[in-house]
Structure 1
Amino acid sequence: MDEEEWTGEFNPLADPEERTHLLSVLDSFRQPPFSVLDSLSHLDDLIDSNAELAEAIFCAGFQAFIAPSLDSEQVASIVPDRYARDPFQVFSAVMDHLGAKGTANDSEKARSCVNQFYREWSAEGSAERGKCFAPILSTLVSEYSSRRANDTELQKKDMNVLVPGAGLGRLVFDICKAGYSVEGNEISYHEIMASSLALNHMSKPGQFKIAPFALNCSNHLSRTDQFRTYNIPDVHPASELSEGEIGNMSMSTGDFIVLYSKSEYKHAFDVVATVFFIDTAPNVIRYIEAVQNCLKPGGIWINLGPLLWHHASRMQDPEEEDADDRQKAGKSENVGIADPGSVEVTDDEVIALVHHFGFNIEKHEPGAVETGYITNPRSMLQSTYRASFWVARRE
């Protein structure tokens, strides 16, 4: 080193405090302020943890939809002997044989579905989902009390509730646990498989650990916040539903418009409860007509949610459309959610349409519920919906 590189009378080594500071500065370049490799290694571990849940959903879905069409000899001819005792490898080998190839859109939906377990099936997600579910359950209590006053023989399980857009099934579970008979409906295969795992195949509370915010690298105060994990489920559904007075619970698969506009569902339900659902409609009038068909005269429609119209910017390119949106009942002209085009209306216009189709609006509280949707409470960015809550009674 050239001894004349630094010139001047000041000698930092002569002053003890300056010397300590200089050495600290030098050491900061020798040891970086954080280890990118350590963070990436931890992130990789969390991805594996999320993957355990994803694999469980895959296995449950395969057994429900694919396995019934297979026979043992067919499987034996496909699967190598070394995988014979590993269900995931067995099912994967069959999938490869069938030429399965997920799209980027399907992969993104799978990641979103895993993250949604935080909202619906973690203890920490209870604050968020509670804001949405509590008004529904409270209204059910009021409705039951009113009906019970006129019919002392009425039991909670005699009230049939429909939950369109059931997602991962937590609201369906909570309504059943409260004693009512409930049917959930869902069109998304991703969520159908995930809800089946949650409701039917979990063996204990806290069976899986997920890190829903790990892959989002923005607006974190610390890596600890980004990498925080949550145990799911917070309850064991099978055990919970084996205790006390509960109603019947079922799930249906298919397009809400197509399925519940059919004659066999005419006047089938006492209550329809929609949460963060009606804005999934290309044309909300079709949803109103379906509710009108399946709801008994005198029954109520309870709704809570924003109006983030999902189809407003959707490209009408067959290669880009969501596969779930294209799901239809045979070749029926009544294609439901796959109808082309979209209509976006305001909250007061929704209320006017509901009234026009034969409902009396008993309660309307626009912006009454402030809530996020799979929002990290520790994030520097908080997104909040000011959801509308209303109750309409069918004439």
Structure 2
Amino acid sequence: MESDWAILLQAAVAGVIVYATAKVITGTRSLVPLLAMVFVVSNGLGKTEVFKRYVRLAHRYWIRLNHGSSSVHGLRSLSGNEAYKELSEASQSELAIALNSLMNYRSNTKRSNDRRRELFKLMSWRQQNLATKTGYLKRLESLDSLIVANQRFCDSIIDYTLSHYGLDSFAVRKIKPHGGGGGSASNSNYRVVEALSHFLRDWPDTEISPEIEPMVQFVTQQLERICGNKTSSYLDGADLVVPGSGLGRLSYELAKRNPKWQVSSIEYSGLMSICNSYVFNENPNPLTTFYPFIHGNSNIICAKDQARSITFTPRVKPGNLNHFFGDFRFFKLAPNSQSTKPLVIVTCFFIDTAENLIEYIDTLNNLASSSKRTTYWINVGPLKYGSAAQIEPTVEELTELRKLMGWKDITNFSSIDDDANDGSLPKLVSYITDTKSFWQGYYGVHAFACKKT
């Protein structure tokens, strides 16, 4: 794949040659040489990604001028599309920030690659010459082309999202995060890379990834344990709520495996949410291939490993699966006063993301009290707290906290505890792990199922 600069250079050289040749043939006063050169150069320009991107932007701007209608936060949504207006103001802002982060992926990622080149130049000429002979600079050049390919994938997600919400990309680019964006879950290139990596975790080209399957197996086994000696229809019609659903594979699997469950997938991050929606792409030929391993140069064995691509298969969204883009603390179940079936809350690699874990449990208690139904809570995940966590309980402390807040344990163990692990989970669970890298990421997890008393 050629970079924009290479294409432009080739076009410029070709234009000069055409101009000189035409000048010799037609004479000094003819405009033909100049017109021929302009044609050749503009033809080359039309092949660049930058030109194509601005053509798309101009098209959206034309749509805004002719069909746009104003809405909050300075964005414009096309008439007849209510999906954007249904979002809370916080989610509208988060969506705009996520789209901006995707739009800026190429420039931000290439800046990191350019910095590597600048650091390379700090070495002596001899050292640079030796490193160049190893193929190091050639590998950096190849990464530039893969960054371009990844931007095309990001552009596909952007186009799909703008179409879904009826947004004008010109207005989206003007949106600035409130308060500097410190509270946004999407306001950095790191977050874009993280979202792309979750395609590998949640939606590989295999049927289901080895990182997700243990989670699904544990949750389904706990659901069977909840039924106990009750009839198999005890959970038919139950509401399963999955906060912090990421790219949504666990929610999808639960909905697919039992169509009688009503599954609500909740995600606060705009990037995760729109990537989740992109998985259920209705377009006939969506772009589904990108390169997730190019964002770091550490622990790599060979250039071929770094240049691997992944391709995911778009899925059909189950009819019993609903996705909610927003803060789970403000999530409310759809009114259904007739339902007497249980409510099951499933948290997977989620509770340690809380700044205030007690507030999270308060939210679970509020859901339980508002539903007025038997409520269960199933959890599996590590306790890797963020830098701003207001409470960082141990497993023992968290177990006592659940008891104090009205939950009675049915299952409770740590996966690394050989004496307590009942075999329903592996001792260690991988998380966005590249098996061809020297660095391997695995977590022991705290697993429990409990009932609200």
Range into which the TM-score falls when normalised by the shorter chain: 0.5 to 0.7
Partners of 1:31 and 1:186 in 2: CA distance: 45
Partners of 1:181 and 1:263 in 2: CA distance: 13
Q: C-alpha deviations, 1:54-103, integer Å up to 9, x for none?
A: 11222233234453xxxxxxxxxxxxxxxxxxxxxxx544545x466997
1:216 aligns with 2:296: yes
SS of the aligned residue for 1:289 comes to: helix
Aligned to 1:237, which of 290, 315, 319?
315
Which residue does 1:71 correspond to in 2? none
SS of the aligned residue for 2:194 comes to: helix
Partners of 2:130 and 2:305 in 1: CA distance: 27
SS of the aligned residue for 2:378 comes to: strand
**What is the CA-CA distance between 1:196 and the residue it aligns to?**
1.1
Which residue does 1:181 correspond to in 2? 262
State the one-letter code of the partner of 1:360: K
Partners of 2:196 and 2:278 in 1: CA distance: 12
**Are the aligned partners of 2:235 and 2:341 in contact in 1 as well (CA < 8 Å)?**
no
Q: C-alpha deviations, 1:351-375, integer Å up to 9, x for none?
A: 1111111111011121354122211
Q: C-alpha deviations, 1:368-394, integer Å up to 9, x for none?
A: 541222111111121221111111111
Which residue does 2:162 correspond to in 1? 62
Structure number with the bigger relative contact order (C-alpha 8 A, sep ≥ 6) is 1
Partners of 2:399 and 2:144 in 1: CA distance: 48
Partners of 2:447 and 2:220 in 1: CA distance: 13
Q: C-alpha deviations, 1:26-64, integer Å up to 9, x for none?
A: xxx899653234312321232223222211222233234
1:304 aligns with 2:370: no
Aligned to 2:134, which of 34, 50, 53?
34
In structure 2, the CA distance between the partners of 1:197 and 1:269, relative to structure 1 (3 Å rule), is farther
Aligned runs of 1:152-167 on 2, under 5 Å? Answer: 156=236, 158-167=237-246
State the one-letter code of the partner of 2:161: G
Partners of 1:30 and 1:372 in 2: CA distance: 38
State the one-letter code of the partner of 2:411: K
1:133 aligns with 2:191: no
Which residue does 1:338 correspond to in 2? none
Partners of 1:30 and 1:105 in 2: CA distance: 39
State the one-letter code of the partner of 1:185: I
Partners of 1:219 and 1:39 in 2: CA distance: 15
Which residue does 1:360 correspond to in 2? 408
Aligned runs of 1:1-395 on 2, under 5 Å? Answer: 33-67=133-167, 91-96=168-173, 98=174, 105-123=187-205, 126-144=209-227, 146-149=229-232, 156=236, 158-179=237-258, 180-201=261-282, 203=284, 207-233=287-313, 236-238=314-316, 241=318, 248-260=320-332, 270-295=343-368, 297-310=373-386, 313-314=387-388, 342-368=390-416, 369=426, 370-395=428-453
**Are the aligned partners of 1:50 and 1:114 in contact in 2 as well (CA < 8 Å)?**
no
In structure 2, the CA distance between the partners of 1:279 and 1:32, relative to structure 1 (3 Å rule), is closer
Report percent identity of matched pairs. Answer: 25
In structure 2, the CA distance between the partners of 1:177 and 1:264, relative to structure 1 (3 Å rule), is closer
**What is the CA-CA distance between 1:142 and the residue it aligns to?**
4.0
Which residue does 1:329 correspond to in 2? none
SS of the aligned residue for 1:365 comes to: strand
Partners of 1:131 and 1:45 in 2: CA distance: 36
Partners of 2:281 and 2:308 in 1: CA distance: 27
**Are the aligned partners of 1:165 and 1:274 in contact in 2 as well (CA < 8 Å)?**
yes
Q: TM-score, normalised by structure 2?
A: 0.59
State the one-letter code of the partner of 1:137: T
In structure 2, the CA distance between the partners of 1:262 and 1:169, relative to structure 1 (3 Å rule), is closer
- What is the root-mean-square deviation in Å for CA atoms of aligned residues? 3.2
**What is the CA-CA distance between 1:212 and the residue it aligns to?**
1.4
SS of the aligned residue for 1:349 comes to: helix
Partners of 2:256 and 2:429 in 1: CA distance: 24
Q: Which moved more, 1:107-116 or 1:358-367?
A: 107-116
Partners of 1:267 and 1:111 in 2: CA distance: 42
Size of the aligned set, in residue pairs, is 302
**Are the aligned partners of 2:153 and 2:287 in contact in 1 as well (CA < 8 Å)?**
no
Q: TM-score, normalised by structure 1?
A: 0.67
Partners of 1:188 and 1:142 in 2: CA distance: 32
Partners of 2:203 and 2:152 in 1: CA distance: 16
**Are the aligned partners of 1:267 and 1:293 in contact in 2 as well (CA < 8 Å)?**
no
**Are the aligned partners of 2:341 and 2:374 in contact in 1 as well (CA < 8 Å)?**
no
Structure 1, unmatched stretches of 5+, are 1-28, 68-90, 242-246, 315-340
Q: Which moved more, 1:57-66 or 1:192-201?
A: 57-66
State the one-letter code of the partner of 2:315: P
Q: C-alpha deviations, 1:200-253, integer Å up to 9, x for none?
A: 44646x9411221212110111112222111113xx321x74xxxxx6111122
Partners of 1:105 and 1:172 in 2: CA distance: 25
